[in-house]
Structure 1
């Protein structure tokens, strides 16, 4: 295994992490911005108000995107195991 192989695996790992966490992070950001906008418009400055909608949105998004995330992780695992099998 040389540096190029290690960098390829590292790049694939980082890309897999970004793709796998993307839907949950995006849902949290969208709900957070929407709640912040509503709080700014109504002048309700309760800090704990944002947590429950964000958690619900993230859990629902994880449930919906679980097959996609699992497929991405499976693809990365297959890549790593194929590299191990071929002897790098």
Structure 2
């Protein structure tokens, strides 16, 4: 395995992990920002108010995008397994 192949595999790994985790992270970030603004406006400082909506949104986004995430992940794993004979 050459250094170029290793760097290419790492780049694919990072890109796929970014694509798979990105939607959940972005959705929870947006919800967290909206809840924080709501807490500042209403001066309501309840700790569970920040966790419950983010958790609910993370679950919903994961359930909705799970087929796409799994397809992306299995495609990447398949390409890695198919490249094993060419590494020697």
Judge same fold: TM > 0.5, yes or no.
Answer: yes
State how far apart, in whole Å, the 2-side matches of 1:65 and 1:22 are: 11
2:72 — aligned with what? 72
State how far apart, in whole Å, the 2-side matches of 1:80 and 1:67 are: 20
**Structure with bigger RCO (C-alpha 8 Å, 6+ apart):** 1
State how far apart, in whole Å, the 1-side matches of 2:6 and 2:54 are: 37
* Comparing 2-11 and 43-52, the one that deviates more: 43-52
- Pairwise CA RMSD of aligned residues? 1.0
**Secondary structure in 1 aligned to 2:83?**
helix
1:20 — aligned with what? 20
